[in-house]
Amino acid sequence: MNTAPAPPWRGAALRLLLRYWVRVSCVAWCVLSLVVLAMTGSSALLTEYGPDADGVMPSYGAWVRAYCLVIGVHLTWHSLPLHVSNSMTRRAFSRQALVFAVAIAGFTAALFTAGLGLEVLVYTAADQPHDWGFASLPSYLLESWLVHLVWLVGGAFAAACVYRFASRGLLVVPFVTLLIFPGDILLGRDSVALGTLPAYADQLALGWAVLGLLGITAVGTLLTWCLVRDVPIRPPAR
């Protein structure tokens, strides 16, 4: 009889996390898309001068990043103690959590990019210009994937600080901004959109941004693991 443990990527934690957060993300995306498309459609089709060329969906990017931050907090604050208290090792959970973080960040980025694509489609149908064309969506997807991952890791790190050090951990939380905000700076968000730059500058900027964001993600993941690898697990509140 084979009693070898299952590979960590086949564990229950990964399946449960994906099952829950994929459903929540789909519901949130549907609500956001309906709101944005209603605003965009009324502006593009019913007004004399048409909507702004920058669109509505990109302005909600901060909301989506904050949503990924909440996922990271939930991952460390709730899911880690739950699975460790049910006989899963911290190392096994951390491996599954890392796979989950990459997957859910990509999923939220894909949903948000799909919403942007729908908005561009409405603009096109109304014969209105939009700063983001269909050709820019792949680069926007990659940007959003990396930025969402950085914010998720930042949330996990902040929760790990508070979980381990209680109220003293709150002193570390402001430094989480050193992890999450450089991603927006690297990508020029809210200043220059990569999709509007010339091809060479686009590739150069995106290449440096990818390296920087991957480095930030690696640092945040390492810091979070250092905090949770031996943290005492408190019994859940009843």
Range name among 27-36, 42-51, 68-77 with the lowest pLDDT average = 42-51
Q: How confident is the model at residue 131 (pLDDT cuts 50, 70, 90)?
A: low
Three-class SS string for 162-182? HHHHHHHHHHCHHHHHHHHHH
Mean per-residue pLDDT of the chain = 77
**Predicted pLDDT at 46:** 45
pTM above 0.85, yes or no: no
Residue 67 one-letter amino acid: Y
Query: What is the rounded distance in angstroms from the CA atom of residue 33 to the CA atom of residue 39?
Result: 10
Tokens 């792949």 locate to 138
Residue 75's nearest CA partner among 191, 157, 188, 194 is 157
Q: What is the DSSP letter of 86?
A: T
**Predicted pLDDT at 182:** 64
* Per-residue model confidence as pLDDT tens digits over 90-121: 899 999 999 999 999 999 999 998 988 887 78
| Rounded mean pLDDT, 115-132 | 75
- For the chain, what are the domain ranges? 11-40+52-228
Most confident of 58-72, 115-129, 224-238: 58-72
pLDDT exceeds 60 at position 7: no
Tokens 């927006």 locate to 184
* Per-residue model confidence as pLDDT tens digits over 134-177: 777 887 888 888 889 999 999 999 899 888 887 776 777 777 77
